[in-house]
Amino acid sequence: MLADLIRKGVSDPRLAQTTITGVVMNRDLRIAKIYFSTHGGAHDEAGVLAGFESAKGFIKRELAGALGLRYMPDLRFYYDASFDYGAQINRVLKSMQTDDEKNNPTADE
């Protein structure tokens, strides 16, 4: 629901390549931590955070109406670096595979 709201209802171009990766509520349901990633990686983080802060009021109003909550939690946005970390691990594994192929040629060669 939140991802659709951002994609369809928020026209801020800073949020165009943003993906919501998770939402965590605290115990008393007063704070919603919203985790996101962006196609541009960590160097787009500040701009995307500014876009979320700009759209926060709209997002809260739309969610409150759709969810029928008596109290709408405070929305806090955090960059999810796990995709960047995964991409880094993938690059390391590929470089190790390339090095292994150079140092240990197969029997066909």
pLDDT over 70, % of the chain: 89
pLDDT band at 27 (very low <50, low <70, confident <90, very high): very high
Task: Say which CATH architecture domain 2-80 belongs to.
Answer: 2-Layer Sandwich (3.30)
pLDDT of residue 103: 67
Instruction: Say yes or no to pLDDT of 18 above 80.
Output: yes
Across residues 17-34, what is the average pLDDT?
92
What is the pLDDT confidence band of residue 98, given thresholds at 50, 70 and 90? low
Q: Residue 60 — very low, low, confident or very high, per pLDDT cuts 50/70/90?
A: very high
Integer Cα distance of 16 and 10 in angstroms? 9
Q: Where are the domains of the chain?
A: 2-80
Let me know: does 76 contact 32? Beta carbons within 8 Å.
yes
